[in-house]
Amino acid sequence: MSAPGERHGDRPGGRHGDGQDAGQAEGQGGRPAGKPAEKKGRRRRRKSGREIQGRPLAPQKAPGQVQPVSRAAAASSQAHAAPSASPVTSGPLVTEAPGVRRPVDDLYAALDLGTNNCRLLIAQPTRPGQFRVVDAFSRIVRLGEGLDATGRLSDDAMDRAIEALKICAGKLKNRPVRIHRLIATEACRQAQNGAEFLNRVEVETGLKLEIVTRETEARLAVAGCSSLVGHDTDGLVLFDIGGGSSEIAMIDLTENRTNRLADHIKAWTSLPVGVVTLSERHGGCLVTPQVFAAMVEEVDAMLEAFNPPALPAFSGLGDRRIHLLGTSGTVTTLAGLHLDLPRYDRRKVDGLWLSNGEVDRMLDRLLSWDFEARAANPCIGADRADLVLAGCAILQSIRKRWPSERMRVADRGLREGLLNEMMASDGAWRRAGRNFRTRNHRPSPGEKP
């Protein structure tokens, strides 16, 4: 739904690389190593626009607590300050306001083990509805390889997933995470030995994963995309093309609109088909126009069984107040091709609008390429060259069922939905707001600082 893949193996790399921290350094925080400045009689104000990003996360001192630190130790610590994590959010990328520092234990973690990918995000709440990514991991494991034919997870696939999960366990152990949620999706739902595999995961990695329902998966996909839905939208069809299943939600915003997008899901379905299963059935390497048409027809038959109720927002289907929103790597790939990116760049792709004609041109372009040409493209790569056209077939069937003039691209998914829900239910943004007001309070004349 270049570097190792993203959502269910169907998202191009470049967002968070395999085992890499989320984001690049934007400069070192803190005072350069050397002699500390002498204390003044009055508090110095931080200069406007000065950022504190780049300072390593560290526990906050309790009020009145004194922690002696030698001058040499302070200089060494500042000289080796860790690079900052980039502010990846559930909405547009944001930068923390000057002077804001969060408690180190205000971290939340979300892990999504899909049919094709193992992906982890560790994040810290910032402004309401937004968060900053502290650490991230993504690796293609192809857990569902051969599942459609055998009904079981293979030994090799389980071994690959275990190795990736061990890395995730290490990252979680090294961070003081307040709350985490670790989920498994279609591959573990469908496999006869899915529960047995998760028991092995717990023994070998210490991680206890829960298998979520398809309905929960659809809701989490919606929750991760709230900030991409504008006030000029009356309704949308949000879809997440995964490795083993594809979730579709019809969202009507015409009545009692709230900020929680998932509250407005009026109908949903989960198709038991994804990029891995569809490519294994039809062959993903050599895809002729005839093979592609057969893929589309298979998905069409599944969608025919979905009979949603009549919804006010969709009475004028095709109007500009109705649109599609795709969270899968299929649409992010099309966006990368449309922009002709030399290397996949999430900042340019997430939130991009594509017209009907632009989508058609990118589909035609992909169909004209052989496997080698797809593998050579930096927005696809060799790991996903056999999967991308299967995702396009699912997308084409969705576009036939819900014609729309435009489609919005979302480079986000279940992890972002998990983080949004955990932070909201835990009151993280209320605490963050209090911290912001307290730390940026300027004493009035006569008031003690």
Residue type, 165: L
Range of 38-52, 53-67, 326-340, 419-433 with top mean pLDDT: 326-340
* Tokens 């690049």 belong to residue: 24
Asked if residue 407 lies in contact with residue 291, where contact means CB atoms within 8 angstroms, the answer is no
User: CA 266, CA 253: separation in Å to the nearest integer?
Assistant: 10
pLDDT, position 128: 85
Q: Convert the pLDDT of each residue in 348-400 to its tens digit.
A: 999 999 999 999 999 999 999 999 999 999 999 999 999 999 999 999 999 99
Q: What percent of the chain has pLDDT over 90?
A: 65
Q: Specify the pLDDT at position 250.
A: 97
pLDDT tens, residue by residue, 278-314: 999 999 999 999 999 999 999 999 999 999 999 998 8
Burial grade of 403 (CB within 10 A; 0-12, 13-18, 19 or more): exposed
Q: How confident is the model at residue 433 (pLDDT cuts 50, 70, 90)?
A: low
Per-residue pLDDT at 227: 87
Q: For residues 49 and 432, which has the higher predicted lDDT (pLDDT)?
A: 432
CA distances from 181 to 111, 132, 240, 342 (A): 7, 17, 20, 35
Topology of the domain comprising 7-23+89-215+415-432? Nucleotidyltransferase; domain 5 (3.30.420)
Each as own residue / partner, the long-range contacts of residues 364-371 (CB below 8 Å, 24 or more positions apart, any chain) are: 365/337, 366/334, 366/337, 366/392, 367/287, 367/289, 367/292, 370/286, 371/285, 371/286
> For residue 53, what pLDDT is reported?
30
pLDDT band at residue 123 under the 50/70/90 scheme: very high
Q: SS3 letters for the chain?
A: CCCCCCHHHCCCCCCCCCCCCCCCCCCCCCCCCCCCCCCCCCCCCCCCCCCCCCCCCCCCCCCCCCCCCCHHHHHHHHHCCCCCCCCCCCCCCCCCCCCCCCCCCCEEEEEEECCCEEEEEEEEECCCCCEEEEEEEEEECCCCCCHHHHCCCCHHHHHHHHHHHHHHHHHHHCCCEEEEEEEECHHHHHCCCHHHHHHHHHHHHCCCCEECCHHHHHHHHHHCCHHHCCCCCCEEEEEEECCCCEEEEEEECCCCCCCCHHHHEEEEEEECCCHHHHHHHHCCCCCCHHHHHHHHHHHHHHHHCCCCCCCHHHCCCCCCCEEEEECCHHHHHHHHHHHCCCCCCHHHHCCCEEEHHHHHHHHHHHHCCCHHHHHHCCCCCCCCCCCHHHHHHHHHHHHHHCCCCEEEECCCCHHHHHHHHHHHHCCHHHHHHHHHHHHCCCCCCCCCC
pLDDT digit string, tens, across residues 210-248: 999 999 999 999 999 988 999 889 999 999 999 999 999
Min mean pLDDT across 34-48, 83-97, 170-184, 313-327 is at: 83-97
**Same fold? 7-23+89-215+415-432, 228-413:** yes
- The Cα 201–Cα 153 span in angstroms is 13
Report the CATH fold assignment for 228-413. Answer: Nucleotidyltransferase; domain 5 (3.30.420)
Q: What is the pLDDT of residues 4-45, one digit of tens each?
A: 334 333 444 433 334 333 333 333 333 333 444 444 455 544
Tell me what the mean pLDDT of segment 36-64 comes to: 39
**Predicted TM-score (pTM) of this structure:** 0.74
Model confidence pLDDT, tens digit, residues 84-121 = 333 334 443 333 444 444 455 689 999 999 999 999 99
Is residue 420 pLDDT above 90, yes or no?
Answer: yes
Question: What type of residue is 170?
Answer: G
Q: Where are the domains of the chain?
A: 7-23+89-215+415-432, 228-413
